Structure 1
Amino acid sequence: MIEIRNLTKKYGKITAVNDLTLTIPQGEIFGFIGPNGAGKTTTISMMAGLLSPTSGSITVCGTDMLKYPEKAKQKIGYIPDRPYIYEKLTAMEFLKFTADLFNVPQNDFITKAEAELKRFSLLDWADELIESFSHGMKQRLIMCAALFHDPELVVVDEPMVGLDPSAIRMVKILLKELAAGGTTVFMSTHTLQIAQDVCNRIGVIHKGKLIAEGTVEELTQKARADRADLEQIFMILTEVPQS
């Protein structure tokens, strides 16, 4: 589970994230939505241990990220919106590199790596250099690597960028399977339909502040929307004029 308490990040006079407090239980898929510049990626960067907060705390599965960052990061699988990968490695070499970082047992590495690459439709390219991969293939490889050590928490920033419809469907099914198995998923996305389809609860951040959270039905009531449509709810809560 995740516990975020009074999390704040400032850049000089600009407050990117303002006193954010959230509790996300084990096995939940939590969607995090908001306009551009609302503080989503800053929040995710702090959760993944890539950025230090100005104040506040983040506890990942009982481990304080600020006090024990290495231990906390061992529990996390981080999937960024852009696939930064060592492109002179093959897909298999990249998985080996990732496995070593997370101290994954090596006795069954090949068997597990082949199974994971097959799940992400990459097995035929296991020994090809990553520099030859398309953007979508790189994104699938990042997901494969992020899940390789069986993390307790998966943090995802725009998971569907560059994926074709078949891969999007696969990822949606995968996220639901992970949650059903007890893995917590924190997902930031601009694709509201995907958030509505897969998330148990959704938080709306605007100008650094969490302005609403709950199920789609609860957000519908808060926004006083005429239907349970996340796009309409989003526009009402963030005061975007509707045509």
Structure 2
Amino acid sequence: MVLHVEIKEAGYSLESPVLKDIKFSIHPGELVGIIGPNGAGKSTTIKSIIGIINHVKGDIDISNYAYIPERPILYERLTVWEHIDFLLSTLDVDEKQFNAKAEELLKLFNLPQVAHQYPDSFSKGMQQKVMLVLAFLKQPDLYIIDEPFMGLDPKAIKRLLQLIGAEKVKGAGILMSTHVLDTAEKICDRFVLISDGKLITQGTFEEIRESSGLDQGSLLDCFDILTERDPHVW
């Protein structure tokens, strides 16, 4: 298991918890999609998992991970390659192999021409590609990806999905928050559906269909049904 989450309560203050009773796990080689309406608590769940929410009651067991936030976080005074060098300095890996992998990833996302430029002037999509390069260079046991498709062009999305597939084969787990349900339906092994800060249901696509009562429904159809129901019935 690369991630086990049992959040009894979590939030930005003790008096007003945002999350209650969130429990799920991710196994090696498994892609789990965390889905829910805007404001449901998906990002708060992710922030609780990686330890940047102060008020969390419960237990979280997490492996070595790479985090790709919805909004890229990069150093203004470091070029793209200097970000790569900085990451290298934190890892116990072969420098030659690491740099070769970095060049391969930069080429994959069409970034070699900006490798020695500062990313603060890049578009959001280009900054997101830099974040992806850094994450996949780290080669962690677990990837935590928040809205990965925002700002990416179709080719970059295809490359990202190829990388995710390759990492799954190697045994990495992936937790991915997304609103792009048609893509999630095709690539996720299981889903965690959160609404109003609570776990509504979780399981495979077929189990989500069963929970919603829509035997042939799309993930979007099931999502609509499950998030409209009274949360107290769960």
1:51 aligns with 2:40: no
Question: What SS class does the counterpart of residue 225 from structure 1 fall into?
Answer: coil
Q: Could you tell me which residue of structure 2 aligns to residue 152 of structure 1? A: 141
Aligned equivalents of 1:99 and 1:48: distance in 2?
A: 21
Question: What SS class does the counterpart of residue 154 from structure 1 fall into?
Answer: strand
Aligned equivalents of 2:170 and 2:8: distance in 1?
A: 28
Q: Could you tell me which residue of structure 2 aligns to residue 21 of structure 1? A: 23
**Structure 1 residues 184 and 229: CA distance shift in structure 2, 3 A:** same
Aligned equivalents of 2:72 and 2:8: distance in 1?
A: 27
Count of matched residue positions in the alignment of Structure 1 and Structure 2: 227
Q: Which of 205, 218, 222 does residue 211 from structure 2 map onto? A: 222
Q: Could you tell me which residue of structure 2 aligns to residue 36 of structure 1? A: 38
Quick check: 2:48–2:56 contact (8 Å CA) kept in 1?
Answer: no
Aligned equivalents of 2:96 and 2:130: distance in 1?
A: 22
Percent of counterpart pairs with the same letter?
Answer: 37
Quick check: 1:80–1:158 contact (8 Å CA) kept in 2?
Answer: yes
Deviation at 1:99, TM superposition (A): 2.3
Q: Could you tell me which residue of structure 2 aligns to residue 65 of structure 1? A: none
Question: What SS class does the counterpart of residue 111 from structure 1 fall into?
Answer: helix
| Structure 2: runs of 5 or more not aligned | 230-234
Q: Could you tell me which residue of structure 1 aligns to residue 88 of structure 2? A: 99
Q: Could you tell me which residue of structure 2 aligns to residue 172 of structure 1? A: 161
TM-score, normalising length: structure 2:
0.90
Question: What SS class does the counterpart of residue 148 from structure 1 fall into?
Answer: helix
Quick check: 2:212–2:222 contact (8 Å CA) kept in 1?
Answer: yes
Aligned equivalents of 1:230 and 1:138: distance in 2?
A: 30
Aligned equivalents of 1:114 and 1:152: distance in 2?
A: 22
Question: What SS class does the counterpart of residue 238 from structure 1 fall into?
Answer: helix
Q: Please show how residues 185-196 of structure 1 align to structure 2 within 5 Å.
A: 185-196=174-185
TM-score, normalising length: structure 1:
0.87
Q: Deviations over 1:75-114 (max 9, x none)?
A: 1110000011113321111111122234444354432321
1:111 aligns with 2:113: no
Quick check: 1:37–1:207 contact (8 Å CA) kept in 2?
Answer: yes
Q: Deviations over 1:96-137 (max 9, x none)?
A: 112223444435443232122122221222112213322111
| Structure 1: runs of 5 or more not aligned | 62-74
Aligned equivalents of 2:165 and 2:78: distance in 1?
A: 31
Q: Deviations over 1:24-81 (max 9, x none)?
A: 11110000001111111011112223224421011113xxxxxxxxxxxxx1110000
**Structure 1 residues 51 and 104: CA distance shift in structure 2, 3 A:** farther
Q: Which of 190, 193, 205 does residue 204 from structure 1 map onto? A: 193
CA root-mean-square deviation: 1.7
Whichever residue aligns with residue 90 of structure 1, its letter is T
Aligned equivalents of 1:76 and 1:213: distance in 2?
A: 22
**Structure 1 residues 57 and 102: CA distance shift in structure 2, 3 A:** farther
**Structure 1 residues 131 and 82: CA distance shift in structure 2, 3 A:** same
Q: Deviations over 1:164-222 (max 9, x none)?
A: 11111111222122112100000011111121121000010011111111111111111
**Structure 1 residues 222 and 80: CA distance shift in structure 2, 3 A:** same
